[in-house]
Amino acid sequence: MQRSPLDAEHRSLGAKLVPFGGWEMPLAYAEGTVAEHRACRTGAVAFDVSHLGTVRITGPGAFERLQTTLTNDLHRIEPGRAQYTHLLDADDASVVDDIIVWWRDDEVFDVMPNASNTDGVRDAIGGEDVTATRAVLAIQGPDARARLAAVAPDAAEVPSFAVRSFDWDGHACTVAGTGYTGEDGVECAVPAEIAPAFWQALLAGGIEPAGLGARDTLRLEAGLPLHGNELGPGITPLQAGLGWVVRWDTEFRGKAALQAEREAGVTRRLRGLICEGRRPPRTGNPVHVGGVSAGTVTSGNFSPMLETGIALAFLPPDVEDGVEVEIDVRGSVVPAVVTKPPFWPNDRNG
């Protein structure tokens, strides 16, 4: 089991540590997941996301290697920008991993896979696994930039989906205007040896610690997919409603299989569900449409902002927004309405 450079910091705060993707990471701190979730929606929090991988691709062939393997088109961005993309299975076009690419310099790319997929991504694209050399801290929330400015002013100024270098305490660091919460914020990659001091400075500046429990409920409210739930074996970008991440005028691994699905039409599509009442649906719960089993919940939980249950589920493609469905939650029927994510914020809650 791998541990973050911030492991001792989490333990000193009394965090509940759990296994996650081969790492031992904080699930929540003393205040609990719901309080951490609301702190992110109303203030600023810091997540330790050092379990995410960093595969560095460098040299004259780096651009073409990524361009011909991943689904998105690097020609659409430039050095100093980040891009969301997918690595597909060559045979069935299922999503091997969803990835953020940080284009740091002309021939320097940091590819950020999900924790458990780092080795597979590196096998597909080559490069060097530099995960152990750094910590990654996600500072998120409406007040994230203002509070970060007192600690690392250059990092606080990075625009959305931009990538910049900044100096902290004499050490070279990298920041990107990215995140996984539906809120504004940044992600800072700092050398492992200074990570504890950087973390302490963030907390001293009024940024609250938050664990992976809140990160999951936040991403669910924002309608963002989680690999292993909404993405993974047997799930293509088209089924997950992420066709925008595919650039059909480029060549990439798995294109032929994905093109075939595009022409035939998907047999299921990821949809959002808002439940009646506070009882949360859970992964694997059956979803019934018109009294007939029609799909399965991929992620479900209690929404701290809506104060009701919410879920993502695969349903037949002809099931439209506004359709009433029923979720079987351990033998109890929970009524729900099909709703286009994000659940928060949206035109119902501002």
What CATH number is given to the structural domain containing 316?
A: 2.40.30.110
CATH number at 201 reads: 3.30.1360.120
Instruction: Please check the confidence at residue 346 and state whether its pLDDT lies above 90.
Output: no
Question: What does the mean pLDDT of the chain come to?
Answer: 97
Classify residue 167: in a domain, yes or no: yes
Q: Are residues 136 and 209 in the same domain?
A: yes
Domain boundary among 92, 122, 152: 122
Q: Are residues 287 and 154 in the same domain?
A: no
Q: Are residues 107 and 45 in the same domain?
A: no
Instruction: Please check the confidence at residue 225 and state whether its pLDDT lies above 80.
Output: yes
- Secondary structure class of 231 (helix, strand, coil): strand
Classify residue 187: in a domain, yes or no: yes
Classify residue 344: in a domain, yes or no: no
How many structural domains are present in the chain? 3
Q: Are residues 8 and 79 in the same domain?
A: no
Instruction: Please check the confidence at residue 168 and state whether its pLDDT lies above 70.
Output: yes
Q: Are residues 140 and 183 in the same domain?
A: yes
Q: What percentage of the chain exceeds 90 in pLDDT?
A: 97
**Cβ atoms 196, 8 nearer than 8 A:** yes
Q: Are residues 93 and 170 in the same domain?
A: no
Q: Which residues contact 56 (CB under 8 A, 6 or more apart)?
A: 108, 109, 110, 111, 127, 128, 130
42: Cα separation from own chain's centroid? 20
Q: pTM for this one? A: 0.96
Q: Are residues 41 and 136 in the same domain?
A: yes
Q: Are residues 33 and 153 in the same domain?
A: yes
Q: Are residues 148 and 289 in the same domain?
A: no
pLDDT, average across residues 298-322: 97
- Alpha carbons 32 and 323: distance in angstroms, whole number: 34
Instruction: Please check the confidence at residue 349 and state whether its pLDDT lies above 60.
Output: no
Instruction: Please check the confidence at residue 348 and state whether its pLDDT lies above 70.
Output: no
pLDDT, average across residues 249-269: 98
**Cβ atoms 343, 291 nearer than 8 A:** no
Confidence of residue 189 (pLDDT cuts 50, 70, 90): very high
- Alpha carbons 118 and 54: distance in angstroms, whole number: 8
Owning domain of residue 25: 2-50+131-221
Q: What is the pLDDT of residues 60-71, one digit of tens each?
A: 999 999 999 999
| Tokens encoding 40 | 């992110």
Domain boundary among 122, 140, 162: 122
**Cβ atoms 53, 118 nearer than 8 A:** yes
